[in-house]
Amino acid sequence: MGWTVRKQLLCPACGDVVAEAIHRRLPAMLTVLATAGYEVMPRRSAAVERDLGEGLLAGVPDEESLREMLQHYHADLIYELMCARGHVTYRPAPVVVDALRTTPGAWVSLA
């Protein structure tokens, strides 16, 4: 497995590319680029959880499982990814890195 991997992340709802992710092993660094080219900045789990509680998050497919995920990854950064069709996917940074490192090929499904 190389020091740097670069793969396309796929929307779990429709399979479209939502972002490109680049992970470097040492020093560990994850960069996520939206299809429009800008860098997606992750947010602290607590901030996402607060927005969820206040109803500020748009397009959450399953509020209960998102809440559980945020509690499980309370110390991690969360990426909020939206595909061109408007599906929103929330994934903790370690989960994105894991998927990048363990999925063969150029595409990674976030399902």
Build a one-symbol-per-residue string for 38-77: x at contacts with Zn ion by CB under 5 A, - elsewhere: ----------------------------------------
DSSP annotation of 4: E
Q: Do 88 and 19 form a contact (C-beta atoms < 8 A)?
A: no
Residue among 25, 74, 85, 101 that touches Zn ion (CB under 5 A): 85
Query: For residue 29, how far is the Cα from the chain centroid?
Result: 14
Nearer to Zn ion, 12 or 22 (CB): 12
**Contact region with Zn ion (CB under 5 A), list: 25-33, 38-46, 81-89, 93-101:** 81-89
Nearer to Zn ion, 10 or 93 (CB): 10
Nearest partner of 91 among 99, 52, 83, judged by Cα? 99
Residue 109 bridge partners (DSSP): 10
